[in-house]
């Protein structure tokens, strides 16, 4: 998810930030805390500042480039009970598997600094880091509030509006969005409205009160009428020719961005950098974004910092995690790596609100995503295996529909596949 990078601030600036911000308890003894992360969290030049204000403390960051191998390793270490870091980052797509093993993690509400209160985060971000028994397993880092990106030139060529106000109306609900897509396909003589059915369906599912699993970790597909309605809606759009049938982040999806194969795309905050990187300079200024997303808001992406119960320095590790997720440090991480803050106080920062994206026509992207983040409702419960259902059952099923399979028959196969993932 961390597809683009920004210039890192100098270490001196990080030290000044530490001195003006809060810090955890200084300890006289010399010891080391290990911090395990993946991708780019924007912490590299923050760590020396924290060490500077904590004599005797050494922080060793162990960073894995790819999130998939990182989480496979984390789950293996949780099973064996060996090799865990003092602070372990967890991406939201794998959070359900971690929350299901909450006994193996410290309760941050107990071992964390007493001044860290729930109101520090957006409510939905905080609540998603709690296990079913109420334990606070993770401090929230970044988020991925959802908007829709669109190609102004392609909409204009098809006679659809491109000004922000009209686009917000067009994108107000999934119904209005897909109706606009139907018009676009007809007027553009068969060009695709969006890139991938799986991308849209994933966002639609995450907006529902109940997803693939209930709070007892039982599959809901047999009775979840809202889930089936979303399936019918997106597969109908596929049959109308609205999907380009591409795979996001794969070669064909990237080529689709370069070639203008589709007109709209589900856009969490971090997607802007991915589009700029893959669509290239030839498409600068053609893409736009507005503070709208069908049926309200949604989130795709973001992580948490956890403290395994096996850590011999739980309170010190929790203090470090609390500091790294404080508003000042989240804003620094945003400038360093583009990770959008989840802290309420960060949303009033002039730096964030004035953030402008030239590639997207000078859009005030900071304001767009602050507005979108505030629209996200109560977090949907996600049980163990939720991410596996999306990746290994639903996404391939939607690809089959895009290749001509009957949606009703494939839906029955999805039900069977989910029951095999979660017996």
pLDDT the model gives residue 338: 87
Q: Phi and psi for 149 in degrees, rounded to 5?
A: -95, 150
Contact 266, 146 (CB under 8 A): yes
Give the span between the Cα atoms of 20 and 16, in whole angstroms: 6
Evaluate if residue 117 carries a pLDDT over 90: yes
Evaluate if residue 73 carries a pLDDT over 90: yes
pLDDT the model gives residue 28: 56
Average pLDDT over all residues of the chain: 92
Contact 196, 238 (CB under 8 A): no
Contact 363, 356 (CB under 8 A): yes
pLDDT the model gives residue 15: 39
pLDDT band, very low/low/confident/very high, at 389 (cuts 50, 70, 90): very high
Q: Give the list of residues 6+ apart from residue 264 with CB closer than 8 angstroms, or none.
A: 148, 149, 150, 151, 177, 181, 193, 194
Evaluate if residue 280 carries a pLDDT over 60: yes
pLDDT the model gives residue 387: 87
pLDDT the model gives residue 347: 96
Mean pLDDT value across residues 35-46: 94
Using CB atoms within 10 Å of the CB of residue 345, give its burial: 0 to 12 exposed, 13 to 18 middle, 19+ buried.
Answer: middle
DSSP 43-57: -TTTHHHHHHTSTTE
Contact 50, 18 (CB under 8 A): yes
Contact 268, 206 (CB under 8 A): no
Evaluate if residue 7 carries a pLDDT over 70: no
pTM of the model: 0.88
Evaluate if residue 326 carries a pLDDT over 80: yes
Evaluate if residue 12 carries a pLDDT over 60: no
Q: Which of 159, 158, 128 is nearest to 141 (CA)?
A: 128
pLDDT band, very low/low/confident/very high, at 230 (cuts 50, 70, 90): very high
* pLDDT over 70 percentage in the chain: 93
Q: Quick one: tokens of 347?
A: 């949303």
pLDDT band, very low/low/confident/very high, at 22 (cuts 50, 70, 90): very low
Evaluate if residue 67 carries a pLDDT over 50: yes
Report pLDDT digits (tens) over 158-201.
999 998 889 999 999 999 999 999 999 999 999 999 999 999 99
Radius of gyration of the chain (CA): 22
Q: Phi and psi for 356 in degrees, rounded to 5?
A: -120, 135
pLDDT band, very low/low/confident/very high, at 271 (cuts 50, 70, 90): very high
HSE-CB at 307 with a 13 A cutoff on CA atoms is 23
Q: Give the list of residues 6+ apart from residue 287 with CB closer than 8 angstroms, or none.
A: 149, 150, 151, 152, 275, 279, 359, 360, 361
Q: Give the list of residues 6+ apart from residue 165 with CB closer than 8 angstroms, or none.
A: none
CA distances from 171 to 165, 196, 265, 275, 359 (A): 10, 17, 12, 20, 21
Mean pLDDT value across residues 262-281: 95
pLDDT band, very low/low/confident/very high, at 1 (cuts 50, 70, 90): very low
Evaluate if residue 266 carries a pLDDT over 70: yes
């Amino acid at each position: 998810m961390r597809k683009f990078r920004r210039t890192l601030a100098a270490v001196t600036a990080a030290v000044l930030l530490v001195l003006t911000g809060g810090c955890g308890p200084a300890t006289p003894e010399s010891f080391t805390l290990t911090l395990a992360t993946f991708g780019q969290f924007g912490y590299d030049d923050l760590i020396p500042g924290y060490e500077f204000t904590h004599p005797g403390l050494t922080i060793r960051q162990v960073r894995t480039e790819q999130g998939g191998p990182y989480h496979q390793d984390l789950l293996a270490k949780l099973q064996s009970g060996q090799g865990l870091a003092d602070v372990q980052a967890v991406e939201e797509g794998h959070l359900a598997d971690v929350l299901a093993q909450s006994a193996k993690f410290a309760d941050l509400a107990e071992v964390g600094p007493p001044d860290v209160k729930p109101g520090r985060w957006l409510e939905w971000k905080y609540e998603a880091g709690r296990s079913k028994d109420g334990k606070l397993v993770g401090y929230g880092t970044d988020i991925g509030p959802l908007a829709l990106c669109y190609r102004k030139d392609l909409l204009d060529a098809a006679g659809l509006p491109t000004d922000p106000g009209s686009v917000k109306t067009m994108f107000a609900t999934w119904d209005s969005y897909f109706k606009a897509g139907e018009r676009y396909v007809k007027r553009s003589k068969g060009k695709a409205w969006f890139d991938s059915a799986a991308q849209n369906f994933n966002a639609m599912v995450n907006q529902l009160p109940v997803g693939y699993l209930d709070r007892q970790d039982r599959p809901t597909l047999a009775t979840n009428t809202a889930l089936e309605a979303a399936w019918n809606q997106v597969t109908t759009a596929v049959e109308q020719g609205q999907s380009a049938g591409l795979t996001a982040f794969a070669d064909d999806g990237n080529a689709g961005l370069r070639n203008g194969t589709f007109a709209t795309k589900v856009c969490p905050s971090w997607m802007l950098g991915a589009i700029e990187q893959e669509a290239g300079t030839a498409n600068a200024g053609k893409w736009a974004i507005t503070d709208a997303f069908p049926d309200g808001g949604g989130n795709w992406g973001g992580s948490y910092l956890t403290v395994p119960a096996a850590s011999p320095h739980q309170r010190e590790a929790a203090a470090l995690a609390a500091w790294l997720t404080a508003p000042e440090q989240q804003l620094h991480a945003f400038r360093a790596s583009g990770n959008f803050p989840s802290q309420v106080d960060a949303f009033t920062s002039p730096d964030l609100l004035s953030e402008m994206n030239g590639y997207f026509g000078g859009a005030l992207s900071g304001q767009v995503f602050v507005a979108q983040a505030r629209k996200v409702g109560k977090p949907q419960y996600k049980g163990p295996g939720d991410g596996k259902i999306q990746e290994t059952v639903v996404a391939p099923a939607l690809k089959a529909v895009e290749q001509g399979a009957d949606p009703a028959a494939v839906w029955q196969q999805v039900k069977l596949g989910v029951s095999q993932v979660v017996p």
